[in-house]
């Protein structure tokens, strides 16, 4: 890759290295400069820009990131589209992240332009949580380096995967002494049930007994009749030795003590055993509290069917200091199931505008016209559903019942725009008013753009990052802006003030500093079908 300053007149076809402001608008870093951009630069008196030019053997950052993310995509993960050289691997559901650290280290050593970052090994993850990110250091990577990384990622099993939680059934045994209140025991039941629920499991019963080896052994045998997957034993007094009442009770019941102690604080005084092949855990005293402790780490692995050997337990020391100290970023009260802050993929709601009267089409409702065997509005809805969106809402108005009938087999919500005859702005206002509370952004699809695909939508979603100035994501092709457009939540409110038969184009103009132009390889994002001639042309192409 060649990098450096270049006369603006010679910069067409190169990637802009630093954003440039021109008369209130921006040419942003990473933009592939077009002849039109060059004219704008020269007209503004900008005669030199810093650019990057790809050479033979280079892969563009997005292609490189996308290829490596596919190679690293293990079970329990899904990939995001690549943008600015970044592709993320997202947890498809809750579970525990399993990482081949050695393999990731070797990939990161191949070339400085190729980087992979993951959550810590065995981190508990939630659905849609970011588990890993592949970042190509701008603006390209040698294809030879990407090929080596791909080969290593695919060799000898997945490098990154999520082990999903299984529906484990557990029984809780609590020993008692006169010094322990029944309210403490009751609270322990509730806290344990919640812990199990968080990892997909269920507390199926509780037994209380005296705090001596004989009574504990009898309780374990009684509990075994229910065939639990996990035995949990909370002693009235902390375990002090392998010869203490609780471990002796496990052995007297026919079980085996495998390991005592854990290099995690709180959670040191935990005991691991087995009975008929099922795990038995002697709980540390801190397990009576909902705060994060070593028992949580052990339970997460067991629930995800990840082996937990004495060696595994002994390897938890680095990072195992969970006590409330000044260096800890969050107090334990705010800690969740894992020691890391949760970074989730943005929740993007989709809305399909399908309320218009199709005046330019004539007597027919264009949205119900068939293209490639389907009504145009069906194409738009299928695209929205296939993309990485969290919900799909269709705004209806003109011939609402006919449109709803065409979409009867799809999992979408409908909202009526009673003022559809007043223009497009009313449909945008309707969409803004029903934006889901949990959504971070809204992507607005037009019902008359049947060639827009989920790939276009996902690329816009991948670009969305308000912290990096990409709060409005607009697709472009050869410098021309099109649709759909993705909006951060705080801009959606401004749609309620729109009037007439206009879209939200002026809102984009008013907020150029928040706009990310996302280049698309084809003109589908520019092509709406709103005249009989346009309809005839697209039908002819499909024949």
Per-residue pLDDT tens digits for 385-429:
999 999 999 999 999 999 999 999 999 999 999 999 888 888 999
Pairing of strands 370-371, 124-125: unpaired
406 & 499 share domain: yes
User: Any idea which residue has 């209380």 for tokens?
Assistant: 208
Indicate the pLDDT class of residue 330, thresholds 50, 70 and 90: very low
Per-residue pLDDT at 30 exceeds 80: yes
Indicate the pLDDT class of residue 343, thresholds 50, 70 and 90: confident
Rounded Cα distance, 407 and 541, in Å: 25
Pairing of strands 202-210, 515-519: unpaired
Q: For the beta carbon of residue 149, count every other beta carbon within 10 angstroms.
A: 26
* CB proximity list for 247: less than 8 A, separation 6 or greater: 239, 241, 257, 260, 271, 273, 282
107 & 240 share domain: no
Rounded Cα distance, 532 and 359, in Å: 11
For 459-484, write each residue's pLDDT tens digit.
999 999 998 889 999 999 988 999 99
For 156-165, write each residue's pLDDT tens digit.
999 999 999 9
End-to-end CA distance of the chain: 43
- Element containing residue 161 per DSSP (H, E): strand 160-164
Is 340 inside a domain boundary? no
- DSSP 8-state secondary structure symbol assigned to residue 318: T
Tokens of 342: 């949760």
Instruction: Catalogue the E-assigned strands of 355-511.
Output: 370-371, 374-375, 391-396, 413-416, 441-446, 472-477, 480-481, 485-488
430 & 482 share domain: yes
13 & 64 share domain: no
Would the CA dihedral through 179, 183, 189, 193 be positive or negative? negative
Q: For the beta carbon of residue 478, count every other beta carbon within 10 angstroms.
A: 13
Q: In what order do the strands lie in the sheet with 202-210?
A: 202-210, 169-176, 230-234, 278-282, 271-275, 256-260
Q: Quick one: pLDDT at residue 542?
A: 75
Q: Quick one: pLDDT at residue 378?
A: 98
Per-residue pLDDT at 128 exceeds 80: yes
325 & 448 share domain: no
Rounded Cα distance, 82 and 65, in Å: 6
Going by C-alpha positions, the residue among 139, 142, 26, 127 that lies closest to residue 83 is: 139
Per-residue pLDDT at 334 exceeds 80: no
Is 475 inside a domain boundary? yes
Rounded Cα distance, 242 and 247, in Å: 6
What is the CATH classification number for the domain harbouring 34?
3.90.105.10
Rounded Cα distance, 322 and 265, in Å: 6
289 & 359 share domain: no
- Contact between residue 449 and residue 529 where contact means Cβ atoms under 8 Å apart: yes
Q: Quick one: pLDDT at residue 249?
A: 98
Going by C-alpha positions, the residue among 458, 445, 447, 436 that lies closest to residue 518 is: 458
* Torsions phi, psi for 213 (to 5 deg): -60, -40
* Torsions phi, psi for 355 (to 5 deg): -110, -10
Q: Quick one: pLDDT at residue 512?
A: 87
Burial environment of residue 84 by CB neighbours within 10 A (0 to 12, 13 to 18, 19 or more): buried
42 & 62 share domain: no
What is the CATH classification number for the domain harbouring 314?
3.40.980
- Contact between residue 153 and residue 107 where contact means Cβ atoms under 8 Å apart: yes
Is 530 inside a domain boundary? yes
Going by C-alpha positions, the residue among 50, 88, 288 that lies closest to residue 191 is: 288
Rounded Cα distance, 86 and 132, in Å: 10
What is the CATH classification number for the domain harbouring 392?
3.90.550.10
Tokens of 424: 């497009």
Is 29 inside a domain boundary? yes
- Distance, C-alpha 509 to centroid of its chain: 30
For 172-183, write each residue's pLDDT tens digit.
999 999 989 999
Span 75-83, average pLDDT:
96
- In 6-133, which residue ranges form alpha helices assigned H by DSSP? 35-43, 61-72, 101-108
- Contact between residue 27 and residue 37 where contact means Cβ atoms under 8 Å apart: yes
Span 256-277, average pLDDT:
97
Percent of the chain past pLDDT 90, that is, above it, reads 83
295 & 324 share domain: yes
Q: Quick one: pLDDT at residue 152?
A: 98
Instruction: Assign residue 356 a region (left: φ > 0; alpha: ψ between -120 and 50; beta: otherwise).
Output: beta
Going by C-alpha positions, the residue among 299, 296, 283 that lies closest to residue 206 is: 283
Half-sphere exposure in the Cβ direction for 30 (13 Å, CA):
18
- Contact between residue 392 and residue 350 where contact means Cβ atoms under 8 Å apart: yes
Rounded Cα distance, 280 and 184, in Å: 22
For 222-253, write each residue's pLDDT tens digit.
999 999 999 999 999 999 999 999 999 999 99
Q: Quick one: pLDDT at residue 145?
A: 98
- Contact between residue 181 and residue 174 where contact means Cβ atoms under 8 Å apart: no
* Torsions phi, psi for 183 (to 5 deg): -65, -35
* Torsions phi, psi for 6 (to 5 deg): -150, 140
* CB proximity list for 318: less than 8 A, separation 6 or greater: none
Rounded Cα distance, 406 and 76, in Å: 34
SS3 511: coil
448 & 462 share domain: yes
Span 355-375, average pLDDT:
88
Burial environment of residue 199 by CB neighbours within 10 A (0 to 12, 13 to 18, 19 or more): buried
Indicate the pLDDT class of residue 503, thresholds 50, 70 and 90: low
Structural domain for 223, as ranges: 169-334
18-32, 195-209, 210-224, 402-416: segment of lowest average pLDDT: 18-32
325 & 352 share domain: no
Indicate the pLDDT class of residue 510, thresholds 50, 70 and 90: confident
Per-residue pLDDT at 328 exceeds 50: no
Is 235 inside a domain boundary? yes
Q: Count of domains in the chain?
A: 4
Is 343 inside a domain boundary? no
Going by C-alpha positions, the residue among 263, 201, 255, 257 that lies closest to residue 224 is: 255
Indicate the pLDDT class of residue 494, thresholds 50, 70 and 90: confident
49 & 148 share domain: no
**Three-state secondary structure along 348-391?**
EEEEEEECCCCHHHCCCCHHHCEECCEEHHHHHHHHHHHCCCCE
β-bridge partners, 321: 265
453 & 477 share domain: yes
- Rg of the chain on CA atoms, in Å: 29
- In 163-205, which residue ranges form alpha helices assigned H by DSSP? 182-198
Indicate the pLDDT class of residue 333, thresholds 50, 70 and 90: very low
Per-residue pLDDT at 502 exceeds 80: no
Is 206 inside a domain boundary? yes
- Contact between residue 283 and residue 231 where contact means Cβ atoms under 8 Å apart: no
Span 255-270, average pLDDT:
96
Pairing of strands 413-416, 391-396: parallel
What is the CATH classification number for the domain harbouring 141?
3.90.1170.30
């Amino acid at each position: 890759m060649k990098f450096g300053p270049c006369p603006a007149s010679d910069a067409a076809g190169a990637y802009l290295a630093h954003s440039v402001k021109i008369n209130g608008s921006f040419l942003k870093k990473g933009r592939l400069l077009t002849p039109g951009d060059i004219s704008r630069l020269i007209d503004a008196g900008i005669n030199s820009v810093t650019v990057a030019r790809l050479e033979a053997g280079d892969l563009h950052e997005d292609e490189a990131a996308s290829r490596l993310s596919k190679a690293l995509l293990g079970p329990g993960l899904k990939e995001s589209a690549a943008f600015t050289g970044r592709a993320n691997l997202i947890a498809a559901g809750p579970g525990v992240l399993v990482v081949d650290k050695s393999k990731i280290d070797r990939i990161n050593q191949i070339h400085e332009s190729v980087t992979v970052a993951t959550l810590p090994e065995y981190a508990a993850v939630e659905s849609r949580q970011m588990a890993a990110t592949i970042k190509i250091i701008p603006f390209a990577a040698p294809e030879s380096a990407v090929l080596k990384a791909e080969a290593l990622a695919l060799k000898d099993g997945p490098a990154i995967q999520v082990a999903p939680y299984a529906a484990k059934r557990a029984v809780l045994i609590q020993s008692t002494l006169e010094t322990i209140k029944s309210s403490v025991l009751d609270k322990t039941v509730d806290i344990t049930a919640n812990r199990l629920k968080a990892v997909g499991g269920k507390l199926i019963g509780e037994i209380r007994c005296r705090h001596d080896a004989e009574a504990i052994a009898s309780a374990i045998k009684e509990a075994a009749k229910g065939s639990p997957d996990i035995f949990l034993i909370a002693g009235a007094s902390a375990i002090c030795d392998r010869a203490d009442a609780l471990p002796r009770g496990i052995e007297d019941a026919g079980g085996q003590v495998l390991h005592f102690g854990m290099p995690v604080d709180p959670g040191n005084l935990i005991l691991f055993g087995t009975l008929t092949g099922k795990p038995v855990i002697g709980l540390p005293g801190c397990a009576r509290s909902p705060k994060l402790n070593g028992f949580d780490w052990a339970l997460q692995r067991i629930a995800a069917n990840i082996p937990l050997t004495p060696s595994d337990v002994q390897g938890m020391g680095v990072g195992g200091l969970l006590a409330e100290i000044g260096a800890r970023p969050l107090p334990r009260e705010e800690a969740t199931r894992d020691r890391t802050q949760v970074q989730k993929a943005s929740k993007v709601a989709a809305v399909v505008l399908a309320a218009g009267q199709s005046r330019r089409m004539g007597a027919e409702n264009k949205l119900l016209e068939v293209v490639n065997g389907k009504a145009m509005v069906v194409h738009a809805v299928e695209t929205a559903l296939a993309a990485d969106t969290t919900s799909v809402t269709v705004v209806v108005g003109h011939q609402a019942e006919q449109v709803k009938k065409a979409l009867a087999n799809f999992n979408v919500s409908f909202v009526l725009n009673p003022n559809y005859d007043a223009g497009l702005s009313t449909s945008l206002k309707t969409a803004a008013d029903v934006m889901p509370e949990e959504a971070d952004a809204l992507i607005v699809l037009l019902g008359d753009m049947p060639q827009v695909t989920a790939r276009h939508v996902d690329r816009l979603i991948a670009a969305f990052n308000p912290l990096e100035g990409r709060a409005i994501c607009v697709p472009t092709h050869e410098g021309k802006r099109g649709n759909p457009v993705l909006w951060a939540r705080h801009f959606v409110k401004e749609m309620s003030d729109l009037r007439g038969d206009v879209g939200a184009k002026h809102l984009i103009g008013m907020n150029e500093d928040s706009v990310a132009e996302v280049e698309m390889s084809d003109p589908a994002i520019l092509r709406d079908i709103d005249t009989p001639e346009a309809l005839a042309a697209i039908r002819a192409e499909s024949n």
